Chain A
Amino acid sequence: MTDHDLPVNGTLIWYYTVCHRQVWLMARHLTPDEQDDNVVLGRFIHESTYQRDKHEILIGNIKIDLVRGAKGSALVGEIKKSSRSEASARLQLKYYLYVLKQYGVDIKGMLFFPEEKRNEEIVLDEEGIREVENAIAGVKRIVSMPAPDPPVKTRRCNHCAYAEFCWA
């Protein structure tokens, strides 16, 4: 597959730190089990929280969950079910900030964990940029492989919506 077929997006960046198989599968729209309890809960939280804010802003390949605040104090936000994969969530939001920077927009980011009633501000610094660029390169490398890496059982597999696919 070529770069043109497979744009990098926020979801792939998020998966990159979680599981390389997921990156490969998701890039081919081989989405996980939609009826998985965690997937259903995540979708519900996404749909039912922060309804007053603007939802799902599409910029190029990326889809930002919400944009909040007036000019000057504006921020882009990403909503997460839990902080279990906090590091991945941070990287995903840094990726959005990175993409926006290419468009000349310098803005803050905020991670929202509505279930935990907790937010976390994210700023893109030099190190963040390097981190994001590494991840983009990593995603491209994984996606261009002819087959995904074989599954490796980890703790994450226990509540992963791909588990039945991977271990079938």
Chain B
Amino acid sequence: MAIESEVLVVGGGLAGLTSALAAAREGAEVRLVSYKQSTLRQASGLVDLLGYTPDGDGPLTDPYEAIPDLPTEHPYSTVGVDTVREAMDLFDDVTDYAGGHTDTNALVPTHGGTVKPTARYPRSAAAGLASDDRDLLLVGFDSMTDFDAPHAAAHLEAAGVPFDVRGETIRFPGDLRADAKVTRYAKLLDTNGGVAVRGRERPAREALAQRVNPLVDDEQRVGFPAVLGDDDHAGVRAALESKMGVDVFEVPMGPPSLPGLRLEDRLFAALDAAGASIETGNPVVDYDGGGRVERVYVEKNGAEIPMTADQYVLATGGLVGKGVESDREGVYEPIFDCHVPHSDDRYDWFDTDAFGDHPFAGFGLRTDDELRPLGTDEAVEFENLRAAGSVLGGYDFAAEKSGSGVSIATGYAAGTSAAAEVR
């Protein structure tokens, strides 16, 4: 015996979650297995579709318009622009993200003070858009060194935003330790817990608003680092807005990222509601089968737990997520040993210019039109295995700003066609 399902998805990032969700919504019995917690916690929470072309042109206004001109090996070319739209509809359906009302990319200020073209953004970032011409105040906390508000403001000014922008740094009210965890701020604001201000205990939301109020000149919107609550982030924002009389927004931050955490929660809840089974904590390490995957093995401290399914989706991530690995001998995919095209000479894997056009950025699996990995001989490796997300090759998500979009689109396509096989 083994633990059985119809569709087994390996990987718990955006691609894995989307494919499991798509398959479950098609009525398949789905199980998602993820080694560590979702990498969404490491992500900004912004959902980029395509910000720049592979040649570096951009920022693009309409990502959908640019998709038909992408190279044939690009995952968007594999699934087609209609599938990308359907996939984004699914995403919009299960989240409360903004940006779905238009095909146009939004320009969202980042914590470094750059402006990033993105297709969907959390509601908490909405009041901060760079296309909005209202003057803007950024407020940083002196202990939170990842966000230097005056520096970010100067950067935004240099980027030529159509409004005045200032940055101020304050001490977060209360006596938090210098390297307080982001969850500590979020929980304090969520519960409106007490903080000590000049010897008096005051609710955190009030105390924060009171500290920022004197710094606001004529600005109609104020941005904070993204730590404004977790479970009740809308409530925290609304409370600050009413006490400050301005729009309040969050600037997406690096890891650990609360917008990423909230997105993760949202997607897992949707997956649960769709009736899928979810298991995290242990890696898939091996499989049985020839031209067809018969079963995979999940390793738990030496014990190998067999899991079987009719269809499999591989969504284990790229070089960073360890779905694609490399050593001095070569580049490989560790579970099914799918073929990863790359030069034999490892000095050809990278460009000598740090910001150059690195071949390694595009390393990953090549697939047929159904996202099934292809071997060295261009033949399908396993008839019931599909790949989705950054384990795929043929695109450079960091340069193109296309990581989330490719994960959602290929995850959706893989999940939908896997479900079609079992229904």
Partners in one complex: no
